Amino acid sequence: MSRKMKSYSTEFKTKIVLEVLAGDKTLNEIASAYNIIPKNIMNWKKIFLENAQMAMEPSKAIKEYKDENLKLQDELDEYAKALGKITIERDWAVGKLKSLDLSNKKALVESKLKTISISRQCELISLNRTNLYYTPIANPVKDAIKDEIVNIFEEIPCYGYLKVHQELQERGHSVCVNTVRTYRQELGLRAVLAVRAPNTSWANIQHPKYSYKLKGVDITRANQVWSTDITYIKIKGGMVYMAAIIDWYSKAILSWKISNTMDTDLVMGVLNDALLLYGKPEIFNTDQGSQYTSYIHTQALKDNGITISMDGKGRATDNICIERFWRSAKVEKIYLNEYERVSTLKSDVKDYIEFYNYRRFHETLEYKKPMNVYCDSLKINNESFTESSENVA
What per-residue confidence (pLDDT) applies to 357? 95
Rounded Cα–Cα distance for residues 256 and 352 (Å)? 12
pLDDT in tens, 308-351: 998 766 555 667 888 899 888 988 888 888 888 899 999 999 99
Range with the poorest average pLDDT among 10-14, 85-89, 301-305? 85-89
DSSP 247-296: ETTT--EEEEEEESS-SHHHHHHHHHHHHHHH---SEEEE-S-HHHHSHH
pLDDT in tens, 242-297: 999 999 999 999 999 998 888 888 899 999 999 999 999 999 999 888 888 888 89
Mean predicted confidence (pLDDT) in 178-204 = 66
Rounded Cα–Cα distance for residues 193 and 365 (Å)? 21
Residue 2 — pLDDT band, cuts 50, 70, 90?
Answer: low
Q: Could you please state the CATH topology (level 3) that the domain comprising 225-380 is classified under.
A: Nucleotidyltransferase; domain 5 (3.30.420)
Rounded Cα–Cα distance for residues 225 and 216 (Å)? 13
